Every structure is written in structure tokens, then in C-alpha cells.
Amino acid sequence: MELKRVVVTGLGAVTPLGKTVNEYWEGMVNGVSGADWITRFNPEKFKTKFACQVKDFNSEDYFDRKEVRKLDLYTMYALVAADESIKDSELNLDKVDKDRVGVIFGSGIGGFGTVYSELIDFSKGEGIPRFSPFFIPKLISDIAAGHISIRYGFRGPNYATVSACATSTNAIVDAFNYIRLNKADLFVTGGSEAAIVEPGIGGFNSMQAMSTNNAEYKTASRPFDHTRDGFVMGEGSGALILEELEHARKRGARIYAELVGGGMSADAYHLTAPHPDGDGAYLVMKNALEDAGMEPEEIDYINVHGTATPRGDISEARAITKLFGEHAYKMNISATKSMTGHLLGAAGAIEAIASILAIRDNTVPPTINFKTPDPEIDPNLNLTYNKAQQRVINVALSNTFGFGGHNFSVIFKKYTE
């Protein structure tokens, strides 16, 4: 069976750098930090008092008051990003075969804010326990995919992926495979997260996974820097329209890039720590290259997982040098979480968008906040420190890894006929 070709025809994003794709990309290429003091609650009692929040998001700019009552913030972000991606694709909803349009949209945690607020209310109550009738529908991780499907009438495959911080790349790979196998013509895919709530900050603090550098919060997300002390929490959503090539051609769609490969692997090592030698990261990139039928030397740019955790960055750098050999020093590599923070389950989607736009504009977004080299990271790698770089990018690879050892990689290629 000949596999179908899959292209990207629409993008949508709600991020700490902006609430549209254009705002997000402008922040990326200019090296803007999305970090600031937490305003959603009083963080005084927490070790970490800052995060990369979505700024100036007024739910009533997008939804009526009735809808707001039914939606967790993570679902709102998902719907806004999905709407932008559909409009960007210029898809004619009256002509498309909605039986052949699916939604695979993930969240690592789901309606965390809803769970917390409902349980706080319950603990204060007396007598008969009372919960909102929307409590369960707001919290479950699949509900964003459901809402997108219902809003637009898409009747194809519809579900959520949950693989921690690899969630939205997992969703992209699944959608890619459905289209390749001719099970659908088009997917809205990606992920969303809104975990900047008290138990989110407190929980990651207790794991010692998150930066506590309150004195330098603007530059605390510093992947590959020797002084890094953990990730900075981010939030938001990324949405991509993946489409079968002939379906896109027939409707005259603009094509951003071709998705040519997806890799999957497991560390099989530890609940939260990566394999110290990067075995899982090596394998997932290798699998993505094999899936794409490509050689390592064809990759121009890698958007790394690069969370700024002490062990994770070393592990990923080792995997890259092991797999790519001498070519590792000819590529550009960057960690865009230095700007957005870590969007957890939504990270892969917005980083896929960054990779696609890097191909479009031949521009490598930077790894900002770098000052001090880490002696355990190869100094000859071009990690695109502090400033965007111009170069021809024909092929870009994007990595995302999750707690539990879940690893996913995707490869995008400049589209040619």
C-alpha cells in the first residue's frame, strides 16, 4: 500500500508570547522572554513565584458567559487555537466531507484548575456535597477534542492523547498516520494546557523539577546553561491542520511544509528522569529519520525538548552527538522553551509550529538566557545562543519527551511538488 503524503495547511497558537501565530513567531525571532510574576493566584507561599502565563486573555472576548461556565481554561485555549488554524487553512466548512475530518487534541493534565476549585469549594461546604454539573466534563483530558469536533461538526476520528509533556507531538504523529493510511483527509491536531494553578506550582516544586530562581525570573528558563535549575511553567495551546496532499491541492490550499516522519520510543528507565546517556532520545530521533526515509545529514535544524533541567539537557545533547556524529556540528539547534517556558502537554504543538515557521522563513529561533557553558555539554554544538540566526532550512526535527519515558519526534520538510 502506498502511503499518502501529509502537509500542513493551517496553524493556530495561544502562547505566553502572544495569542496568535504571528505574535508568537514575532516574539520567538526577537528572543522575548514570556516569564513574569504569577498573577492568577498569590504565589507568596510557594518556592516558585513566576511562570510564563498567557497575557491578557479575556475569555469573554471569545466565548459568551454561558460557554465560559462550561469550559476549563485549557479547553478555551484549545478552541481559540483550533479556530485560528481552521481560518488560517481557509477550509470551506460547507464543502469538506466532515466524515473524513478528525480531531486528535491532547492535554497532559486536562482541567487542573477546575479540579482544584471544585475540591476547594467542596472542602468548605457542610451537609450535602454539591458539585457543578460541568465539573466532570470540564476536567477530562479529551473534552477539548470533543468541543472542537462539536463546534465544527467534524465526524472523523476524535480523541485525546495523554503522554505527559510529549502529548501534543503524540497527537500530531497519530493524525499523521491516520492520513497516511487513508483513514481521513484532514485533522485538527495539537494540544493545550493550563496548569498554572496552586497544585501545579506546588506539585512541581515538590519534585524539584521547576526553577526557583525568583531573583532572575525573566531569565530563569536557561536551557544548556550551567546555572540552570529547572523548567519554567508555561501554558497555552498549539493547533495544526494536517491534510492529505491531493486533498490540499484540489482546494488550492497554501502549504506551509510537509510532515515526512514521526518517531516514538520509551526510555524504560525512570518515572521522571531521562536516561543519562540519552538512549530513548537517540532512539526516537533515529526512528523518525527511518520513518521519513532520511539520513541524519539531511536535518538542518532541531528544536530540542530542552527544558533547562540539569539532567535532561545533558541527556538530549548526548543523544544528538551520538546519532548525528560530525553533522551534529553543522546543524542549528535551539530550545524555544527558553522563551515560552514549558507548556507541558502543549509544548510539542507550539514547537512544531516554530519548526514549520523556521523552514518558511529560513530563520532559527534562539536559545535565550545563555551565559555560562556547561562542561558536560559539547561546546561545538551550535545551540543558537541568545540571537536568531538566518540559514537555509529544508528539514527540521522537533523533539518532545515526557515523564514516564515517553518520547516523540516529528520531521517537517520544505514542501516541493
The residues annotated as belonging to the active site are 165, 305, 342
Cβ–Cβ < 8 Å for 225, 372: yes
Beta-carbon-side half-sphere exposure of residue 113 (alpha carbons within 13 Å): 16
Judge contact between 37 and 43, C-beta under 8 A: yes
185 and 247 in contact (C-beta within 8 Å)? yes
What angle separates helix 143-152 from helix 73-89, to the nearest 10 degrees?
A: 40
Residue 300 CA to residue 397 CA, distance in Å, equals: 8
End-to-end distance of the chain based on CA atoms, in angstroms?
Answer: 21
Look up residue 38 and give its DSSP letter. Answer: -
Using CB atoms within 10 A of its CB, is residue 95 exposed (0-12), middle (13-18) or buried (19+)?
Answer: exposed
DSSP 218: G
Residues 32-54, buried b or exposed e (16+ Cβ, 10 A)? Answer: bbbbeebeeeebeebebebbbbb
Phi, psi of 197 (to 5 degrees): -135, 165
Helix 279-292 / helix 310-324 crossing angle, nearest 10 deg: 40
Provide the grid cell at 380.
561545538
With CA atoms as reference, report the closest residue to 4 among 238, 187, 254.
187
Residue listed under C-alpha cell 497519530: 174
Measure the CA–CA gap between 360 and 395, rounded to whole angstroms.
10
